[in-house]
Structure 1
Amino acid sequence: MLKILGKLGLLVTALAIGAVWLVVLRLKDVSTPLLAAYGLLLAALVAGLLWPDVLGRLSTRRRVLVVLGISAGLATLGLYLAVVYYVTDLPVLLALAATACLAWAAAALLRGRRAAGGRGARQTRRALLASGAGLLLGVLSGLSVGWAERRRREVLVRGEQERQAALRAPGARRRIADGAVRVFPIHTGDTIVTYGQFYGGLDGWEGPNGYLRTLLDKAQIAVPVYAYLIDHPRHGLMLVDTGVNWEQAHDHDGYYDHNYMVSRLLTQRDEYRMNPEQDLRVRLARLGYDAKEITTVVLTHVHDDHAGGLRHLAQATVVMDRRDWEHGTLYPYSFDLVKDHLSFPAFDSGAFGAFPGSQDYFGDGSLILLPTPGHSPGHMCVLLRLGTGSVLFMGDTLYTLPHLATGQVRQMTIGGADTIHQIEAARRIQHLLASDPRTVPLFAHDNTRYQSGSVSSAFATGRPGKEGLRELRAHMEAVLTPDWRLRPGHTPRFVPPSSGTRLGRVEFR
């Protein structure tokens, strides 16, 4: 009985590990039919090793290993090389192969000593061949370390060359210094997400089930990633969020190796895309600014599509909620250079409208930090006063303008109390916008005409003025009713990709 229970335990463990591996491969876009066939092969191998007699002609574990084990091993290696392999893996793979050869040599040598006559001589020859192969692979592993590093450096050098070319391209602006507060949207590339992750929060995309669906669902869209530059006459140059950096988009596997292979396995290799003109440093320079002049970065939250640009802002003070620093999902490589000059607001400036707590960061009412937990433990929104009105930087509390209709459009939420907190934050934002017609929302991922048309036009010079703010409010009122419902023609729908394309798109009907 105990033997049967032990085998069942091994079976469950092996199947669980196999299921995780299949999910990883699905995340890497391996087709479902191929995964099904591969999964059956793995299941047959495990079952055959535990109960070899169930496979009929493969009636011994040795035969199972020879027939199914070699097939499964080659299939696993092939899939790994096809969709997971990264250049820095080469020394590790060679080292593992060397270890396997040396282990085989040791086993053959032991068998040779026990065997007599010609059989013992054959085992000894095999041991010598295997040990020679192991030593050769070990040497190649050591030599490949330098080669792998050079290959990665070539990628980074090519990126720097493209960035320099973008900096030299004609059409750069001169910085305007007239004492006015200016705000510039900075498009730092796009992120590839599932449609349900972005718009399916009311259709079951919540909590663990939602996260599992993001791994398996391939109905994907591209959405922009925005940071915002603030040129303030009293407080200097600031950024609200920093977007993604070049390495995340073009050396994704190398970038996330800084957080070990687990992060690389559980992220999509092409989850970000960015052209040279969208590099944060290039965008700032094209507007007449230098990234080294940024003195303050306000992070709405620590997720890496908002914090990746910190790699280029080592001199800045980074303002963020302490709860995100202590409990949020963050990648150390993004924070390496700024971790010693973080600023954590206490939110002790009193209530602000519907918000029970706030932080008047500079003490003059120019920049108000508002806690909006839910999307992350310490998410916050940022209110900036312009003189002619105010802008509210939303971060990821709400992804787009239609998401203000919280009863009709919702992004994926964490679930439980976090979902409740996020919806509460959204309602406080609704109250703030309703109570002040001179305040306009600015989003980090808006893929609607509000961002690409109205916001881009109003903030083309960084200074929207009263008329620009009125036009943004008019756009908002054309999309949303006073009770925060979508007007006809503004409900999102997923449009599957056309032939030859991988990404779908969003229509509003």
Structure 2
Amino acid sequence: MLKTLSKIALLVPALAAAAVWLIVLRLKSVPMPLLVPYGLLLAALPAGLLWPRVLGRRSTRRRVRAFPGIPAALGTLALYLAVVHHVTDLPVLLALAAVAALTWAAPAFLRARRAAGGRAAAQTRRAFLAGGAGLVLGVLSGLSPGWVERRRGQALARGERQRQQAVRAPGARRRIADGAVRVFPIHAGDTIVTYGQFYGGLDGWEGLNGYLRTLVDKAQIAVPVHAYLIDHPRHGLLMVDTGVNWEQAHDHDGYYDLTSRLLTERDEYRLSPGQDLRVRLARLGYDAGRIGTVFLTHVHDDHAGGLRSLPQAEVVLDRRDWDHGVLYPHSFDLVKENLSFPAFDSGAFGAFPAGQDHFGDGSVILLPTPGHSPGHMCVLLRMDGGSVLFVGDTLYTLPHLAVDQVRQMTIGGADTARQLEAARRIQALLAAEPATVPLFAHDNTRYHADRVVPAFAHGRPGKEGLRELRTHMEAVLTPGWRLRAGHAPRFVPPESGTGPGRVEFR
């Protein structure tokens, strides 16, 4: 009985590890017809090694290693190389192969000494070959880091040349300094998400169930990542969020460590040379090195990646996000000594029981909106003729303001309740301030493309431009925050059958 319990104690973690690996592969879009037989092999291997007869009356552990074992090992190696491997792993892989070869060679030498005649000679040859291969692999492992870094350096240098070409392309502007507050939307890349993650919060995409559905449902869409430059006559150059950086999109697997790579998709970000934050700033007539403050709505990497281009900036974010949010340290490496955490002690602001008057003059108000992340916050900016509210990811698009009809995937439980409460506070603020317009981080609707971009083309929409944005908002949403006809999202599969689909509004 004790022996059986011990075997079960070994089998359970082995099956759990196999299940986690299968989930990772599914997250990376490995098709189910391939995963099912592969998963059966993974399950059969530990079960067969512990109970050989479970695979047949004549089965032995040696047969188990040869039949389920070898295909499972080769399949694991092939899948790893196909969907996880990056050139930065090469030194580690060579080192592991060297250790394996030397580990096999050592007992082979011992067996050769005990053997006699031709068998001893054969064992000795195999041992020498394995030992020699191990030494060669070890030397290559030591030499490979330099080659890997040179290869990555060459790729990044090509990217830098492409960005410089984009900066020099015709149509660049000069900064206008006339004492007005200006805001410039910056399309800083795209991210690939499942349609349900973006629009399915009322269809079961919530909490753990929502995350599990992302493993199965691969109906994907590409959505923009918007950052915003603020040119303020009193407070200098500011930004709300920073978008995606070049390495995230073009050297994704090198940018993230192995654990992060296992939990993310290789093509989750897209960024053209013209969308790079440094290029966009330069094309608008600004120097990235002059950005003094970044207001980070939250620490997720599609909002924080561009911080690597702004190492001199003070980064203002809610401490709860820094302490408990999902962040990737590499995006913060260059600014981690420049962080500032608001106390939210300036008193109530409209529907919000607490806020932070950041500069003390009412020009920029920080509003806590937790839920999407532990310390998510929105930013209200006063401009000539009205205000803009940078919503971050509390609500993805203008139709998401109809939170009882259109909802993104939420974390679940108390976090979902907090996010809905924040959404309703935003509704109340917009209702109470008719000269305030919302600006979103991922809006993929006509509101951003056809209204926000033209209105802020020169950074200064004025009272009339803000009024036109509110008019469009009222054409999409009723006073009771319901969608009007013709504005409900619908997924349209890609015509080719592969790649992201698109969203129609009907």
What's the TM-score bracket when you normalise by the shorter of the two chains? over 0.9
Partner of 2:444 in structure 1?
447
Residue 478 of structure 1 and its aligned partner are, at CA, apart by 0.5
Partner of 1:293 in structure 2?
290
Residue 504 of structure 1 and its aligned partner are, at CA, apart by 1.1
Letter in structure 2 aligned against 1:474: T
Letter in structure 2 aligned against 1:11: L
Q: How has the CA–CA distance of structure 1 residues 58 and 19 changed in structure 2, closer, same or farther, with 3 Å as cutoff?
A: farther
For residues 481-492 of structure 1, the aligned pairs below 5 Å read 481-492=478-489
Partner of 1:197 in structure 2?
197
Are 2:270 and 1:273 equivalent residues in the alignment? Answer: yes
Maintained 8 Å contact 1:239/1:296: yes
Partners of 1:107 and 1:179 in 2: CA distance: 79
Are 2:112 and 1:115 equivalent residues in the alignment? Answer: no
- The partner residue of 1:283 within 280, 283, 294 is 280
Residue 58 of structure 1 and its aligned partner are, at CA, apart by 5.4
Deviates more, 1:123-132 or 1:273-282: 123-132
Matched residue of 1:239: which SS?
A: strand
Are 2:370 and 1:379 equivalent residues in the alignment? Answer: no
Partner of 2:234 in structure 1?
234
Are 2:248 and 1:251 equivalent residues in the alignment? Answer: no
- The partner residue of 1:308 within 298, 305, 308 is 305
Partner of 2:54 in structure 1?
54
Partners of 1:283 and 1:115 in 2: CA distance: 72
Maintained 8 Å contact 1:108/1:127: yes
Maintained 8 Å contact 1:315/1:338: yes
Partners of 1:339 and 1:142 in 2: CA distance: 32
Maintained 8 Å contact 1:396/1:444: yes
Partners of 1:88 and 1:336 in 2: CA distance: 19
Q: What count of residue pairs does the alignment treat as equivalent?
A: 506
Maintained 8 Å contact 1:189/1:272: yes
Partners of 2:58 and 2:296 in 1: CA distance: 60
Partner of 2:147 in structure 1?
147
Residue 5 of structure 1 and its aligned partner are, at CA, apart by 2.0
Over 4 Å off, 4+ runs: none
Partner of 1:415 in structure 2?
412
Partners of 1:97 and 1:195 in 2: CA distance: 41
Residue 57 of structure 1 and its aligned partner are, at CA, apart by 6.5
Are 2:227 and 1:263 equivalent residues in the alignment? Answer: no
- Provide TM-score, normalisation by structure 1: 0.97
Matched residue of 1:394: which SS?
A: strand
Partners of 1:331 and 1:59 in 2: CA distance: 47
Partner of 2:457 in structure 1?
460
Partners of 1:207 and 1:187 in 2: CA distance: 29
Partners of 2:254 and 2:183 in 1: CA distance: 33
Matched residue of 1:482: which SS?
A: coil
Deviates more, 1:181-190 or 1:117-126: 117-126
Matched residue of 1:225: which SS?
A: strand
Partners of 1:486 and 1:58 in 2: CA distance: 67
Partner of 1:44 in structure 2?
44
Note the aligned Cα RMSD (angstroms): 1.2
Partners of 1:343 and 1:74 in 2: CA distance: 50
Give ranges in structure 1 of 5+ residues lacking alignment: none
Percent of residue pairs identical: 80
Maintained 8 Å contact 2:384/2:463: no
Residue 117 of structure 1 and its aligned partner are, at CA, apart by 4.0
The CA deviation string for residues 140-191 of structure 1, in whole angstroms up to 9 with x for no partner, is: 2122221111111111111101001101101001111111000000000100
Give ranges in structure 2 of 5+ residues lacking alignment: none
- The partner residue of 2:505 within 487, 498, 508 is 508
The CA deviation string for residues 457-476 of structure 1, in whole angstroms up to 9 with x for no partner, is: 11111000111111100110
Maintained 8 Å contact 1:45/1:68: yes
Matched residue of 1:314: which SS?
A: coil
Matched residue of 2:256: which SS?
A: helix
Partner of 1:319 in structure 2?
316
Partner of 2:215 in structure 1?
215
Residue 383 of structure 1 and its aligned partner are, at CA, apart by 0.3
Q: How has the CA–CA distance of structure 1 residues 447 and 7 changed in structure 2, closer, same or farther, with 3 Å as cutoff?
A: same
The CA deviation string for residues 362-384 of structure 1, in whole angstroms up to 9 with x for no partner, is: 00000000000111111100000
Residue 113 of structure 1 and its aligned partner are, at CA, apart by 2.9
